[in-house]
Amino acid sequence: MSSPNVRTLVSLAALNRSTLREQLLDRLREGILDGTFPPGSRMAEVELSTQFGVSRGTVREALRTLQNSGLLEGRERNSLYVRRLSRRDIDELFQVRDALEGKAVELLLQLPSAQDVVDAMERQLPETTESMTYAQRFEIDLTFHQILVESTGNAMLLNMWSGIKDMMRIAALAWADETAASLMTVAHHQPIIDALRTGDALQVRKVLNSHMLAAAEKLGAKAED
């Protein structure tokens, strides 16, 4: 029986490292978004390596990915911390969302299937019940907006929007209270649906802009300057 060649062994080793990194990345990302690692937490390479039973190199790669996605920020002595969004961060985040989703509106309303998409968005409107957690409400809310962007068929637009999803989660979940929950109601989203049904892109963009400004104001009010 022939032995596997060196090239095959190297490829398998790389695959194993990649799998470990992705698994660790998922665990860390989930921990940041569910509050296990709250904003301001120091992400110590040695401690995480011990906690998860992986090499420091694997931890380092995962942390670098999280930093590049905006979930972590560097401070003194190259230490990494879970990002704590400032008021300016939140304002800029919703400005970007407004620009991306505003463009999605323009593209959507050019499609023959536009009203079918609006119907799908309306079915996704975030009905709230006592049994739902704040995080569940937020994910329903996020899906509502994702349907809008996905429906355009513009892969680059969707990729850019998806790139800030984790930042949206941090902004919303860091201040989980009734004030923030009021952003995730049917009443807060119905004006977007009503405007979309008119087919007037300028009107929809105006409503969407007001929607984003209200969200930035309520979430930003609790953030540090």
Q: What DSSP line would sit under 76-111, residue for residue?
A: GGG-EEE---BHHHHHHHHHHHHHHHHHHHHHHTTS
For residue 225, being part of any structural domain is answered with no
Query: For residue 83, which phi and psi values (nearest 5 degrees)?
Result: -65, 135
pLDDT of residue 104: 97
**Confidence band, pLDDT 50/70/90 cuts, at residue 19:** confident
Answer whether residue 7 shows pLDDT above 50.
Answer: no
Mark whether 73 and 96 lie in a shared domain. no
Is 127 in a helix, a strand, or coil?
Answer: coil
Q: Take residue 15 and report the two structure tokens written for it.
A: 């695959």
Q: What is the pLDDT of residues 156-205, one digit of tens each?
A: 999 999 999 888 888 887 766 666 677 788 888 999 999 999 999 999 99
| pTM (whole model) above 0.95 | no
**Confidence band, pLDDT 50/70/90 cuts, at residue 128:** low
Mark whether 52 and 162 lie in a shared domain. no
Mark whether 111 and 183 lie in a shared domain. yes
Range of the domain at 51: 6-82
For residue 111, being part of any structural domain is answered with yes
Mark whether 30 and 141 lie in a shared domain. no
pLDDT of residue 10: 42
pLDDT mean over 36-64: 90
Q: Take residue 26 and report the two structure tokens written for it.
A: 């998922």
What b-and-e string marks burial along 31-40, b requiring 16 or more CB atoms within 10 Å of the CB? bbbeeebebe
Tell me the one-letter amino acid at 149: V
Answer whether residue 146 shows pLDDT above 60.
Answer: yes
Among the candidates 30, 57, 82, a domain finishes at 82
For residue 137, being part of any structural domain is answered with yes
Neighbour-count burial of 222, counting CB atoms closer than 10 A to its CB (0-12 exposed, 13-18 middle, 19+ buried): middle
For residue 205, being part of any structural domain is answered with yes
Q: Domain total for the chain?
A: 2
Tell me the one-letter amino acid at 222: K
Mark whether 44 and 64 lie in a shared domain. yes
Among the candidates 59, 82, 105, a domain finishes at 82
Mark whether 160 and 104 lie in a shared domain. yes
